[in-house]
Amino acid sequence: MIKNKFLRAVLPGIRAKLSFFTAALVISILGFTSIIHYSQQTKALEEKLESELKAPLEYVNSVVLDLENLSRSMILIEEFKVRVKEKKKQLSKFKRTVVQKEGGLFGALKAFGQSIGLNVKRGNVYKSVDTYFTRYLSEKEIQEFESKVRNELRKENGAPIDAPVYEKIRSIAEKTALARISAETSKARIEEIAEELKFLDTELAKADLDPKKKKTYLTDKDKLEKERKASEKAIPDGEKKAAAGETALTKALQNFFRGSFKDRISSLGLLPDKIRILAYDRVGKETLDTGLLFSQSSETGKKLLAQADFVESRKGLFGDTDVLEVIQNKSEPESYEVGGRQYEVVYRPVFRNPSTAERSRSMAEEIVENPKDWAKYLEEDRKISAEIAEISQRLKTRMSELRKDGKAKPSSDKEFKNLALAYRQMLKKRDTKLEQLQPYSSVFEKNEKKWNDDHKSLKDKIASTSKEILEWEKLLKFPPKEGENKTSPEEIQEKIRVLESQEEEYKDSLIRLESTKGDWGNSYERKAEDAFFGLREAALEDFTFIPFKTGPAGIRRYYKDENERKSVKIKWRLLREWILSGNSETELPKTPKGIAWDSGILVRSRSEAEEVMWALDSTPLVAPGEEEGKGLVYDLLRKDLLGYNIILIDRTEGIRQMRSNREEMIRYTGIIGTIAILLAYGLAWFVVRRIRVISKNAELIGDGNLNVEFPPAGYDEIGVLSESLNDMVHGLKEREEMKGELLAAEEIQKRLLPEKLPSSLNDYVEFGAFYKAMTGVGGDYYDFIELGGGKIAICIGDVSNHGVGPAIVMALFRAQIQAILRKGERDLKKILLEANAYQYEDTPDHIFITFFLAIFDSNTSRLEYISAGHVKPLFFDASDGKIKELPAGGLPIGMDENSFFETTIERRVLTLDSGDIFFEYTDGLDEARSPSSDMYTRERLAKLLQANGEKRPEELIKTIVTDVESHTQQDLSATGFSNLSDDIAMIAIRKR
């Protein structure tokens, strides 16, 4: 209490505090509301832009992919035209020469002449025939492929492309294909030259080489060196021309589709004046700009495109920057302010094969987030990849031998079939390891169980509701008989209506639940597992086919539809089987009914797909730890990167509006806060006048004057306070009197407990004990009663509830136990029966006593004990240093008659060896609560006993008390009231 008048005058009073508090509260509420409102506006703006951007961005992604596929397809067509001619030359060496007799008219006449005895000779005809290895994609297949691609090139009105326009685009594709083939041919020739030079160097190194041969070899070597230099120079020239051709082809295709792009993007709701999308290929060349399609969009972000920070950030997408690093660093939008306008820039990677890219990304993220979960499988994958690499090398060697021989196709070769079988077995082993080592089996089982439980629950609810509806409808048709409860028809119809509505809700929920069956769209774990299973399969499919459709719709459909997944996996298996069977180079196997080869256009022969399959299966998913960021996962992700979409969003208007709203809110907050302060000050002045009178009288009470009376102050809270303070003063008087009485009662109860621990058996055992009442006096009790002859009785009990009443019951019970023992009764069961008879008759039904009684005989070191509903004792066995829980039980004393009580109690015997400790306590110990309401627990007590089992009982008890004080933050040695949740008593006996 502040007694200094100067401080009273200086320090702020209630009026100032209430005014300040009111102002702070109002301003805080308004400020908090403003923040929430601003945050909601920002979120709403982002969601609106996101929703507006989603469809156009997906379309732009598909446009980029479609242009890439069309460009790639047209270049492939031209490559195929050249390669088919080259292949015919290359594969002609695998043709077989067949000898036949001369045929035709002359052959028939000669044969007839021979048959009639004429001296004519029929000559042999040598004919070259195709073998398995001379077959490749035919010109007819290429024409069909070109027809499908050309069919994709349609005008805005759906009409086919004009022949001159197509020829112009085809001409660009042809030049690009020739440049690419030139670069590839030069690379292949360099490898051949290296082998030839190696041979020449070996020959020239021979000491006995003929001088003429040496001169010839040196001339040949000089020619090869010059040819290698020319080829090395031709490679960058060819690649440069190919890159320029690809860019020109993309622009030509883009110009052709320009009108349809614009119409489609407009129909999707893109805001040209707010959003601009730019597409770049992986080297940084622009492939699409909505600013060129829409005049409104051409100015969006124009200044931003030239800003140094943005240019530098954009450069970070290209060059040697790793795609994974870009995805991680550019995952969040970037904000820019240019010329007073606010821009947000979003970066999105575009992948050539979304199915493979999605799996690669999913797997890369999973490996980073849960490396330990997949460590074992990745290690197995490396081992299996190494084994497949060995088989692949043997298959490659065998295929070379079969090509040289040219007589048999692979499917009829025993060695090839054996190697293919071994290859299949390794693939099966890899799938089996994935099933065994993937970490999400328990998650899948749990999710499936939950789905089944929810499904069953909904069906049960529908059946139950339907049954209840029928019962009510029956009641509507057949009214109740006299004497039965009657319900009006209107009430019955209302009940039926409610139940039918509920049934419809259950049915709708069931339909929604069943629609999620097999849907992996929201299952991170399923996607992760599928990525490990399907990455190689998807990559092989992407290499072998050019897809009819592009974009992420395919992978989304795959995740959502279980039948789609089954269909895709069947096609993957058939594709593998086609490659491994070696039956045909260009004819795919038949698919089961209902499944079609809709993966796209087959653009690779079996042998070409085989080479890629070997590479995919021989490369581990992830390289060992020291080669971080290497492996098939990362290789495919980098290879599939087509480029990036950069989205420029002009958020100026939205941010300006939000800022304007915020400033207006601040103005209103200031005005409302000022008014609130003035009103609060006036109200506080009125209230404080009455509080001052109460405050002065309260100071007198603080000085110890309990004869003060507070004057009436009305019927509001202050008036109630005045009356309450009068009651409080009266209560304080009574409390002071009661406090003195309780202190006296506490002192009396302490005298009922043993003043000191027994010493007559100190040569045999040591004792320890502790007692603390929750309210000064309590219902817990312990005692040591010496019986003579080297025996001592040990008691501990707990009366239900706590306070003065239980303390009286415990005092009476103590006297009864001591009286029974003094008259010589030593049968523990009889002692408890006699005590129960007294208590059952003399105490109310809600009062009972849990009691533990034991007699220790120093002559035999045996402890005979019996329990009446008390907690089980703890025993420290010195022989093994472990804590054991002793059996106990029984019904508490005073709860039932002896006829039943006797059946629940049982006498038990325990022999103490040197160092053993017997410990018993009341439940107030293990139920002692911390300030945060955590219990002390029996487990904590047992651990403490085990850790301190070598100590003397008194020291052990002190250790426990200290630990309980630390847990409860209570001083257990203090007298009077405490904040304990119950009384505490404990005893310990240790055999010397």
Using one digit for the tens of pLDDT, what is the confidence trace for 145-190?
778 778 878 777 778 888 888 888 888 888 888 888 888 888 878 8
How far is it, in rounded angstroms, from Cα 250 to Cα 261? 14
Mean pLDDT, the chain, rounded, equals: 80
Given this model, what pLDDT does residue 57 score? 66
On whether the CB atoms of residues 189 and 235 are closer than 8 A, the answer is no
Nearest Cα neighbor of 609 from 532, 545, 546, 535 is 545
Beta strands 641-650 and 984-991 are: unpaired
Structure tokens at 800: 């239900």
How far is it, in rounded angstroms, from Cα 529 to Cα 831? 70
How far is it, in rounded angstroms, from Cα 630 to Cα 620? 9
Nearest Cα neighbor of 768 from 958, 953, 990, 959 is 953
How far is it, in rounded angstroms, from Cα 655 to Cα 854? 82
* Average pLDDT for 486-490: 74
Nearest Cα neighbor of 697 from 686, 685, 712, 684 is 712
What Cα–Cα distance (Å) separates residue 782 from each residue in 336, 685, 986? 79, 61, 8
Given this model, what pLDDT does residue 704 score? 63
On whether the CB atoms of residues 820 and 831 are closer than 8 A, the answer is yes
Residue, of 838 and 302, whose pLDDT is higher:
838
Given this model, what pLDDT does residue 485 score? 61
Task: Using the predicted structure, report yes or no on whether residue 989 has a pLDDT greater than 50.
Answer: yes
Give the 3-state secondary structure of residue 486. Answer: coil
Task: Using the predicted structure, report yes or no on whether residue 118 has a pLDDT greater than 50.
Answer: yes
Least confident piece of the model among 460-469, 545-554, 978-987: 545-554
**Any alpha helices (H) in 406-486, and if so which ranges?**
414-437, 441-477
- For the beta carbon of residue 460, count every other beta carbon within 10 angstroms: 11
What Cα–Cα distance (Å) separates residue 276 from each residue in 264, 295, 337, 366, 487? 15, 11, 16, 33, 68
For 863, residues 6+ apart whose C-beta sits below 8 A from its C-beta are 854, 855, 856, 857, 909, 910, 911, 912, 918, 989
How far is it, in rounded angstroms, from Cα 836 to Cα 895? 8
On whether the CB atoms of residues 355 and 65 are closer than 8 A, the answer is no
What Cα–Cα distance (Å) separates residue 332 from each residue in 328, 335, 534, 658? 9, 10, 29, 22
Helix (H) / strand (E) element for 399: namely helix 371-405
Given this model, what pLDDT does residue 45 score? 64
On whether the CB atoms of residues 564 and 599 are closer than 8 A, the answer is no
Write the DSSP string, 804-861: HHHHHHHHHHHHHHHHHHHTT---HHHHHHHHHHHHHHHS-TT--EEEEEEEEETTTT
* Average pLDDT for 943-947: 93
Reported as a single tens digit per residue, the pLDDT across 531-551 is 999 999 999 998 888 776 666
In sequence order, what are the beta bridge partners of 101? Answer: 124
Task: Using the predicted structure, report yes or no on whether residue 512 has a pLDDT greater than 80.
Answer: yes
Reported as a single tens digit per residue, the pLDDT across 413-451 is 899 999 999 999 999 999 999 999 989 988 888 988 999
* Average pLDDT for 15-37: 70
Least confident piece of the model among 84-88, 648-652, 670-674: 84-88
Beta strands 124-129 and 96-101 are: antiparallel
Task: Using the predicted structure, report yes or no on whether residue 703 has a pLDDT greater than 50.
Answer: yes
Given this model, what pLDDT does residue 1 score? 41
Nearest Cα neighbor of 601 from 13, 17, 74, 4 is 74
How far is it, in rounded angstroms, from Cα 977 to Cα 975? 7
- For the beta carbon of residue 69, count every other beta carbon within 10 angstroms: 21
**Any alpha helices (H) in 153-306, and if so which ranges?**
163-204, 211-267, 290-293
On whether the CB atoms of residues 79 and 181 are closer than 8 A, the answer is yes
Nearest Cα neighbor of 149 from 601, 643, 774, 606 is 601
Structure tokens at 16: 């100032």
Residue, of 641 and 820, whose pLDDT is higher:
820
